[in-house]
Amino acid sequence: MSDIGLKGDEDFLLVHSVEDSAEYGNEITRFSISGEKVYHCLQDPKLTFSFDADCLAFEGLANCHPGRTVTAASINNLIPNAFGWDGPNRIYVYRRPRRRRSAAALATIQFEIEVHNAVFQHNYDNGLNPLPYLDPGPILINSTEGFQPVASVFDATIFWRRRGTVDLTGYYDPANLMGLETREYCQSWPVANTKPANYAAFIASVDTQGNETGSTIVEVFDVTTGTHMLEDTAQGNQLQTILGNAQNPIDTQVFPNPACRWIAVWLPEGGTEHIKGEYFGSEADLAAFLDVYNDGVVDNGVQALVALYDMKKSMWAYGP
């Protein structure tokens, strides 16, 4: 290890020491209403090599524009898999050079080489480069690391979006008050339950409303692996963004806003035309709904409930 330092074109540096350190680039925490931490994520890991050297001449890395990339082969005696950073998608970036000149002595320089996850690269425009004779190479845009795998988020291991479309056009509706209603709800697999081994097992467990017209699971995201079991190819995936918010999304409506839990079809006493009603409550079932909106009965003498659709469960709670 006596020759630790830099290889290649760095004939202008006399390296005294190199220190390698590891850190993360971003930290995300989420808390429940009661203040309990429900999610903790460390993202964008970063490895840093800190060099201390003498400048034999102000050329090469001794006078390099920050942002230039180097390769792992440029560093002598790079520790294999330093802090777990071996891999094909790493980018080494020259950062934070600091020079000091003292009387009757060689100038000294300290700089860092940071190792990040690589993404699509872009070259500097030479017109923006203060040292145009140097090719700064690709620069780091950001990390490819996104939502990180965790044991659970909001006490669930799998989240999915169910799109429910209820067709009300079959009712006597001369005023055209009915039609199609579409809602999307975020549902979840409780962490206390054994997680399905694969997508087929998941569907077999949760798609019990497959015979309901218009009930479709459009996106499934497994937070324990950080991957999708099913992607929404038509409208794009939304769960990763939703799960990054502080609010627990379980059993809440994703689309549209504001939320609508129940769609009811009423027949007024003595009337012939059905009337649609949308309700924003969180009642658990048909009985609870009737208690709030119709005196606890299907027909209270003023209006009779003909049908009730539960948008959260994408199924009929009553009728038609």
The domain limits of the chain are 5-139, 156-318
Of the candidate ranges 10-24, 114-128, 182-196, 304-318, the one whose mean pLDDT is the lowest: 114-128
Of the candidate ranges 72-76, 162-166, 223-227, the one whose mean pLDDT is the lowest: 72-76
CA distance 312 to 183: 8
Q: What is the pLDDT of residue 278?
A: 83
| pLDDT over 90, % of the chain | 14
pLDDT at 219 over 80: yes
Q: What is the pLDDT of residue 290?
A: 94
Report, as an integer, the average pLDDT of 119-132.
40
pLDDT at 131 over 70: no
Instruction: Give the chain's mean pLDDT.
Output: 76
pLDDT at 288 over 50: yes
- Alpha carbon separation from 92 to 66, 73, 244 (Å, rounded): 12, 10, 29
Q: What is the pLDDT of residue 118?
A: 59
Cβ–Cβ under 8 Å, residues 266 and 275: yes
Of the candidate ranges 145-154, 177-186, 311-320, the one whose mean pLDDT is the lowest: 145-154
pLDDT at 299 over 80: yes
3-state helix, strand, coil in the chain (%, to 5): 10, 40, 45
Report, as an integer, the average pLDDT of 243-247.
74
Q: Rounded to 5 degrees, what are φ and ψ at 242?
A: -60, -40
DSSP string, 58-92: S-GGGGPPTT-EE-GGGEETPPTTGGG--SSSEEE
- Of 291 and 233, the structure prediction assigns the larger pLDDT to 291
Report, as an integer, the average pLDDT of 36-65.
78
Q: How many residues are there in the chain? A: 320
| pLDDT over 70, % of the chain | 72
- What end-to-end distance do the CA atoms of the chain give, in Å? 80
Q: What is the pLDDT of residue 305?
A: 94
pLDDT at 241 over 50: yes
pLDDT at 145 over 60: no
Please report the sign of the dihedral spanned by the C-alpha atoms of residue 66, residue 67, residue 73, residue 78: positive
Q: Which two tokens stand for residue 114?
A: 């940071």
pLDDT at 127 over 80: no
Q: What is the pLDDT of residue 135?
A: 36
Q: Which two tokens stand for residue 193?
A: 């339950």
Report, as an integer, the average pLDDT of 206-211.
62
pLDDT at 82 over 80: no
Q: What is the pLDDT of residue 221?
A: 92
